[in-house]
Amino acid sequence: MPKTGAGQLTPEEKLIVYWESIRYIYELNRTSEIKAGLIMSFYGLVLGVIFEMAANMQTNFQPSIFLIIVVVIYFFFVGRSIYFAFRCFLPQIKTDFDKNMFFFHDIITQYGDIQSFTKKFHNMLGKQDELYSHLGQQIYVNSLIVSQKLMNVNKSVRNLAYSFIPMFVAVVTIVVSVFIL
């Protein structure tokens, strides 16, 4: 493809850059949702094991106030982690931006019926500046969504890590209580 000037991109190359940016953001979005799903699966497994063990305990074990506090702290971090993982799946879509032909909500609410949208979309494709503006706005909005999702995943993972401390303390306390005392 010929260059339009020294260091200038052709219109085709510009479109490739825009679409590759959108694809990159889409992949980040998928990654955040996969991570949140893995966290939820991990908790499902861990909590299932914990409840199964608790149901099958056949000892004269008496929990202490210390152990109850540690378990409450553990479930506090678990609850926070699950909350942030769920938030990853429920992003807050903002609709207070200019209408955009690449935003699914605007397509069905701002551009009329299918024929009207198709005609307006075709017209926009002939106007490079308007096309680049719509694509750039969509990159920005998608980036906001992905940024929020990744922030929630990070908070979820952080709380997952924090939950290991009280879980370890609780396990050690139970083992000492049951087997040593």
pLDDT of residue 84: 95
Q: What is the spatial distance between Cα 158 and Cα 167, in angstroms, rounded to a whole number?
A: 15
pLDDT of residue 6: 61
User: 3-class SS at 148?
Assistant: helix
HEC string of 7-21? Answer: CCCCHHHHHHHHHHH
Tokens, residue 37: 């799903």
pLDDT of residue 177: 80
pLDDT tens, the chain, 181 aa long: 455 556 788 888 888 998 899 999 999 999 999 999 999 999 999 888 888 877 776 666 677 899 899 999 999 999 999 999 999 888 677 777 888 888 888 888 888 899 998 999 889 888 988 888 988 888 898 898 899 999 999 999 999 999 999 999 988 888 888 777 6
pLDDT of residue 2: 52
pLDDT of residue 99: 86
pLDDT of residue 73: 96
pLDDT of residue 166: 94
Q: What is the spatial distance between Cα 67 and Cα 37, in angstroms, rounded to a whole number?
A: 30
| Nearest-5° Cα angle at 132, 28 to 96 | 70
- Look at the pTM and tell me if it is higher than 0.85: no
